[in-house]
Amino acid sequence: MLYTHLGRTGLKVSRLCLGTMNFGPQTDEPAAHRIMDAALDAGLTFFDTADVYGGWGGQPEAHSGWTEEIIGRWFALGGGRREKVVLATKFYNPMNNPVDGPNDAHGYSAYKIRRAVEASLRRLQTDHIELYQMHHIDTHAPWDEVWGAYEDLIAAGKVVYAGSSNFGARHLCWAQQAAAGRHFLGLVSEQHRYSLLTRQPELELLPSALELGLGVIPWSPLAGGLLGGHALDGRGGERSAGAAANLDDAVRSRLARFHELATDAAVSPANLALAWTLANPAVTAPIIGPRTPEQLAEALAVPQIKLDADLLKALDEVFPGPGDPGTGADPASERATAPWAYAW
């Protein structure tokens, strides 16, 4: 496994990040534990989750917080598991907690930040979180309120670093400007949707993060499974099958050409898509979300894959960057760079 610094910090993380959103709804607890053990054995030490994960999937036991509980029980097994992991989790969404009443809502007031972190710490069975991320932008909470709450958590040893997710470039700038005024480190990372099929972040988000010294952690680097290799032949997962059903002929043609390039390069389509994200200097580690230990084992080769200039050029021809009519991005439009233009 290869490692790099998380943004401008001194913290080193693996160049792949283990995403845990499948744990619970799609991957049962024993399999999730095996995946996390295998990740650690391979040197993959950067784990990402969120307080809301586990609250979908249709099972009777599904509930927000389920995934963090699974990780917490894995930590409790001991053997240095917690000590070896750089743990990232997120908050912002409602948790269906009636005690919080109207404050159980989207956002991150100081009230919510304090209660959310305490709840995550209980579920995760740990006393600290290395990277505590805002899951989306909250346009109502002033940065002095947010950073004041984070400063208290860091001083108490409950949080080490602050991160964001689904922010726009301007939000990163505003956050860092406010942090600088408080002589506070502010954000160290941005978790963002980015893949060969979602290149709009190249307009402003990635350059801004690079200039600000923030590590970018791409989520959905396989575009919901469409770049994973089986979306077009019906052998993909539930998410990729649903996404593939709505593809137009132009995108299907691009995916078919992409699979040909992967075959020519002697790598799987999934690994080619992941390696492409790592080739961008703004990217710290793409999030992989294996449902099985076998899927994890395949992805572990990604940090060692080097893409030559000819292959990168060919990928650009298949999946042009922002401004190409096929991407749906209009560089002249403010909406093109807003997080809600291509995120949730």
Give pLDDT tens digits for 136-169.
999 999 999 999 999 999 999 999 999 999 999 9
Q: Is residue 173 part of a domain?
A: yes
Kindly tell me the burial class for residue 236, based on how many C-beta atoms sit within 10 Å of its own C-beta (0-12, 13-18, 19 or more).
buried
325: in domain:
no
CA–CA separation, 248 and 86 (whole Å): 40
Residue 39: pLDDT above 50? yes
**Within a domain: 328:** no
Q: For residue 150, is it within any domain?
A: yes
Total count of domains within the chain: 1
Q: Is the pLDDT of residue 329 over 50?
A: no
Q: Tell me the three state secondary structure of residue 311.
A: helix
Give the pLDDT confidence of 243-297 residue by residue, as tens digits.
Answer: 666 788 999 999 999 999 999 999 999 999 999 999 999 999 999 999 989 999 9
Dmax (CA) of the chain: 57
Q: For position 246, what pLDDT does the model report?
A: 73
Rounded to whole angstroms, the Cα distance separating 88 from 191 reads 11
53 as an active site residue: the answer is yes
User: What's the confidence (pLDDT) of residue 321?
Assistant: 85
Q: pLDDT tens digits for 195-228? A: 999 999 998 999 999 999 999 999 999 999 999 9
Tokens in use for 119?
A: 């709840």
**Residue 129 sits in a domain of what CATH number?**
3.20.20.100
Is residue 145 assigned to a domain?
Answer: yes
Let me know if residue 73 belongs to a domain.
yes
188 domain-assigned: yes
Per-residue pLDDT, averaged over 72-94, amounts to 97
In angstroms, rounded to a whole number, what is the distance separating the alpha carbons of residues 229 and 222?
A: 9
What is the gyration radius of the CA atoms in the chain, in angstroms?
A: 19
Which range marks the domain in which residue 106 is found?
Answer: 3-224+274-304
Average pLDDT of every residue of the chain: 91
pLDDT of res. 58: 81
pLDDT more than 70, % of the chain: 89
Asked whether residue 260 is domain-assigned, the answer is no
Mean pLDDT score, 76-103: 95
Report pLDDT for 247. 84
Kindly tell me the burial class for residue 125, based on how many C-beta atoms sit within 10 Å of its own C-beta (0-12, 13-18, 19 or more): middle
Position 344: which residue type?
W
- Among 53, 108, 194, 342, the active-site one is 53
Is residue 236 predicted with pLDDT exceeding 60? Answer: no
220 sits in the region (left: phi over 0; alpha: psi -120 to 50; else beta) called left
Give the helix/strand (H/E) hosting 110.
Answer: helix 110-124
